[in-house]
Structure formats: C-alpha cells, structure tokens
Structure 1
Amino acid sequence: MINVLFVCLGNICRSPMGEAVLRHKAQERGLGAQIRVDSAGTGDWHIGKPPHEGTLKQLKLHGISGKGLKARQIGERDFEAFDYIVCMDDSNERNLRKLAGGAHVDILKFMDLLPQEKLREVPDPYYTGNFAETYRLMDAGCEALLDKIAEEKL
C-alpha cells in the first residue's frame, strides 16, 4: 500500500481537492486498492468541516466524489504513516519541516510535479477565488504524481 498525504493551510480547499482527484485517478487506473490518499492542514481552524463549497463545486463539475472529506490537522504520526507528503506552497513546507522536528521526512512540493508551469506554488483559492485554476493544477499534477508513484513504488 502506498500512502499519500496532501497538505495545505486549512485543509478545506487545495489539499482535499488533491485528495479527491488523486483517489479518483487512481481508481481510473486500477490502482485504487494500492494507493491510500488523505489530506490535512497545518492549521486547526476548520477541523471536522467539509471542504469549501468552491472545492466541492469543482469536484462535482468533473464527476469526482467529495464524499467523506473532512478537514483535519496534521499530526506527528502522519510523518511515519505516509510515503508521500505533498505540500501546496513554501509556507506549508516550512511548517511541515518544523512539525517533523528531527525526523527525516520526504516532503514533495506539488508544483515540482509540474515543471512546465510558471507557478511554483498552488495559489490558495480561499483567497484568490479561482477554484477552476486549482482544479486544473490538481488534475495535471495528480496525473504526474501517479506516474511518479508507478515508477518509484509499484
């Protein structure tokens, strides 16, 4: 089993969208039983809440289920439980490294999966309002992540 954790700030926009998109794409590729996907936030403001309505709207528009998605905060165990911890921006990366303490953790920046893009961080649609752009990035990046997983782990 390959375990993937998406991380953003509040776990209501970018990371749950990544979770749902990757889960959907893994199922489409016949890898659903081999890849477990989750998401978390570095902050605690939205714990237990569903994703932002903009995230849910994009998922529905593209035929992807948002069922069962609820915000949670990253914890110490996550650093041991996940093979891939994928963060959305530099601030998330700094926070993750601080939370990990001295543990050796491989943290992947999402936009490193998309070197052809000019953006180096996934813009936060909570502030930009552009959930369609976030979906576009998640769609392409999750394809690249599945390719990476297949090459490295499967």
Structure 2
Amino acid sequence: MNILIWGGVILITIIIQSTLIPLISVRGIYPDVLLIIVVSYALLSGKESGVGMGFFAGLLQDLASGGIFGIGTLSKLSTGYIFGLAERKVFKEHVLLPILATLVATIFNGVAGLLFLVIFDYKVDLIAALTQNIMPLVCYNLIVAVPIHHVVYRLIQFTAE
C-alpha cells in the first residue's frame, strides 16, 4: 500500500512538474519539486528508501524530460542515498531542516548531474552552469522547500499508521 501511495505521489508530481510548473519559470528555471520530495523522503525514511525514491523519481523525470537519459536517475539516486544517510542524525521537526537540506541537495544534485555529463564525455561549461542554472534553481527550490517537506512529513506519518 505504501509503495502505491508514494508511486502515485511521484506520478502526480512529475505530471505537474512537466506541465504546470514551467508556466511559473523565470528565465527557464523552475523549482525541482521531485528533488525536494526525494530529499525530504530520504531524510525522514533513511538511505534505502531514499535510493528507491530517488531512482523512481529520476527515472520518471528522465522519461518525461526528453534530455540525456540516465543523468536525472543517477543524480537523484545518489542524492537520495546521501541524504538518507543523515536520517538518524537530524531533528526531523526542525524548521531549518528542509531549508538547509534543499540548499545542499540542489547544489549536490546539480553538480552530480554535471559530473555525470563530464564522465560521459559531454562538453560542459561548468562556470556558466553553476551561475546561470544551479544558483537560480537553489533560490527557487528554497521558496517551495518548507511546504513540500511538511506535506512529505505528514504523508509519511499517514502511511506509517
């Protein structure tokens, strides 16, 4: 039952992120809601769950985006694992948790994606990607991090019962 609920959440999120959220983009940058869900879920549920959520979310994002297949999967999977490691070390109800986690996760996910592109021998302007894509994305993700983390926290509590 738990897998069906979270699978539904990810499917609904990818549909919204692919259709509605680009309408509020600024210079082509819009929040990565899937990343915030993966990070919140990993922080609240652990590394095994974070890897699963990151893999599924990244795979669906790769399928929906039409970009280079596998980059989103690998970067979200690794982000879910890294933040899942901190599950027992964080105070889950603290208001700064989603803000700091989203800040670090957005930078980590962006840099991981760039590194995977470099590993796969794509030409990447790292400075331009950091200043024109990742940093504005950090700001946008921070705006929506707290409400999304709160929803994920409540949904985890609901599915645990």
Q: Which has the higher strand share?
A: 1
Task: Give your verdict on TM over 0.5.
Answer: no
TM-score (norm 1): 0.38
Q: Which has the higher helix share?
A: 2
Larger Rg: 2
TM-score (norm 2): 0.37
